[in-house]
């Protein structure tokens, strides 16, 4: 994958053309999926697709004037910084709320892309067009936000509040939740394997501490290197990595600290209680910010935690 900052102006324009064409086809797919139940929303997505077609034509006219007929193939997946979205437009039936959120996120990311590209463009005509397209994408985001009001008759949510919430989830909740889940679950097996193998609280604490620190460092680097945040607005990679690493460490150290208690039975019971609290906290965060039903989130997290927990006890007792 190529870094966005390393793209030439020719490659930036080629990427923009590719993005507009792909978004147009996605919106047409969404429109087809909504047509039967939500005809007015389907019409809206068709209008958005037509607008993407106009944007592509504007970009392509400028590209040909600057660089000729040859158009290199540069796509989102070739450039570091874009979020890989789940292809919800292929699912039937389509949920209106889900595609509304998808459209708003897509237009927000595209507007950021155009503004970032305009910042590094040296050609005045290219920069002016990219800024105009960024403003147009902002209007598209407003249009997508109104889908809920138009069809679901919900109160209109302020665009600034929704954008702030979305960015909070992207920059803090998602990396933090990933770290908390990894730290809380992945460290269970080595901790309780050591506990039931040695029945020594201090040695168990050292194993849990090492597992928590190691997992925190690993997850922190993995998150920081996954996306530089320049196009997606997910924030600085160092910050996301630090959040993810810290939450991973906290998830592991929480059920490790009880083994500072000298009595093995008391320490183990206390650790069980902490694990239950951690799994409940993860379920609540997924319910609160990831739109996952609480019972479904709790079931998924608890099943995974119990399996890892049981594996650790079985290995330690063998």
pLDDT recorded at residue 149: 55
Kindly tell me if the per-residue pLDDT of 146 is higher than 90: no
Kindly tell me if the per-residue pLDDT of 210 is higher than 50: yes
Determine the angle formed by the axes of helices 201-226 and 188-198, rounding to 10 degrees: 170
Kindly tell me if the per-residue pLDDT of 17 is higher than 90: yes
Residue 309 pLDDT level (bands cut at 50, 70, 90) = low
Average pLDDT over residues 187-193: 85
What is the number of residues in the chain?
A: 318
**b or e along 226-254 (b: 16 or more beta carbons within 10 Å of the residue's beta carbon)?**
bbbbbbbbbbebebbbbbbbbbbbbbbbb
Span 236-284, pLDDT tens digits: 788 888 988 999 999 889 889 999 999 999 998 998 888 888 888 888 8
Tokens of 246: 């810290």
Tokens of 150: 């138009």
Average pLDDT over residues 286-312: 73
Span 157-182, pLDDT tens digits: 344 455 556 667 777 888 888 888 88
Instruction: Name the residue among 166, 123, 118 with its Cα closest to residue 141.
Output: 166
pLDDT recorded at residue 234: 65
Average pLDDT over residues 299-311: 71
User: Taking the model in full, what pTM does it have?
Assistant: 0.52
Residue 300 pLDDT level (bands cut at 50, 70, 90) = low
Kindly tell me if the per-residue pLDDT of 151 is higher than 60: no
pLDDT recorded at residue 129: 85
SS3 sequence of the chain: CEEHHHCCHHHHHHHHHHHHHHHHHHHHHHHHHHCCCCHHHHHHHHHHHHHHHHHHHHHHHHHHHHHCCCCCCCCHHHEECCCCCCCHHHCCCCCHHHHHHHHHHHHHHHHHHHHHHHHHCCCHHHHHHHHHHHHHHHHHHHHHHCHHHHHCCCCCCCHHHHHHHHHHHHHHHHHHHHHHHHHHHHCHHHHHHHHHHHCCHHHHHHHHHHHHHHHHHHHHHHHHHHCCCCCCCCCCHHHHHHHHHHHHHHHHHHCCHHHHCCCHHHHHHHHHHHHHHHHHHHHHHHHHHCCCCHHHHHHHHHHHHHHHHHHHHHHHHC
Kindly tell me if the per-residue pLDDT of 85 is higher than 50: yes
Tokens of 161: 């509040």
pLDDT recorded at residue 154: 47
Kindly tell me if the per-residue pLDDT of 301 is higher than 90: no
Average pLDDT over residues 183-188: 82
């Amino acid at each position: 994958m190529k870094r966005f900052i390393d793209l030439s102006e020719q490659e930036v324009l080629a990427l923009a053309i590719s993005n507009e064409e792909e978004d147009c086809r996605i919106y047409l797919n969404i429109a087809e999926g909504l047509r039967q139940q939500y005809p007015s929303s389907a019409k809206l997505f068709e209008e958005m697709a037509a607008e993407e077609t106009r944007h592509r034509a504007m970009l392509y006219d400028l590209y040909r004037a600057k660089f000729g007929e040859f158009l290199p193939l540069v796509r989102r997946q070739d450039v570091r910084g874009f979020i890989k979205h789940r292809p919800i437009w292929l699912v039937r039936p389509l949920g209106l709320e889900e595609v509304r959120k998808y459209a708003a996120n897509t237009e927000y990311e595209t507007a950021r892309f155009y503004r970032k590209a305009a910042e590094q463009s040296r050609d005045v005509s290219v920069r002016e067009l990219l800024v105009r397209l960024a403003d147009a994408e902002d209007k598209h985001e407003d249009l997508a936000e109104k889908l809920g009001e138009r069809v679901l008759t919900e109160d209109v949510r302020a665009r600034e509040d929704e954008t702030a919430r979305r960015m909070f989830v992207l920059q803090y909740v998602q990396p933090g939740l990933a770290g908390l889940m990894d730290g809380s679950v992945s460290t269970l097996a080595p901790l309780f394997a050591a506990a039931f193998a040695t029945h020594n609280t201090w040695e168990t604490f050292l194993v849990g501490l090492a597992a928590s620190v190691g997992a925190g460092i690993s997850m922190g680097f993995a998150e920081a290197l996954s996306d530089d945040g320049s196009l997606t607005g997910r924030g600085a990679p160092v910050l996301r990595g630090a959040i993810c690493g810290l939450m991973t460490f906290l998830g592991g150290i929480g059920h490790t600290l009880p083994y500072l208690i000298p009595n093995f039975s008391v320490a183990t019971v206390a650790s069980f209680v902490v694990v239950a609290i951690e799994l409940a906290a993860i379920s609540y965060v997924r319910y609160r910010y990831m739109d996952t039903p609480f019972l479904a989130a709790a079931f998924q997290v608890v099943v995974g935690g119990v399996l890892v927990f049981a594996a650790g006890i079985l290995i330690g007792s063998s």
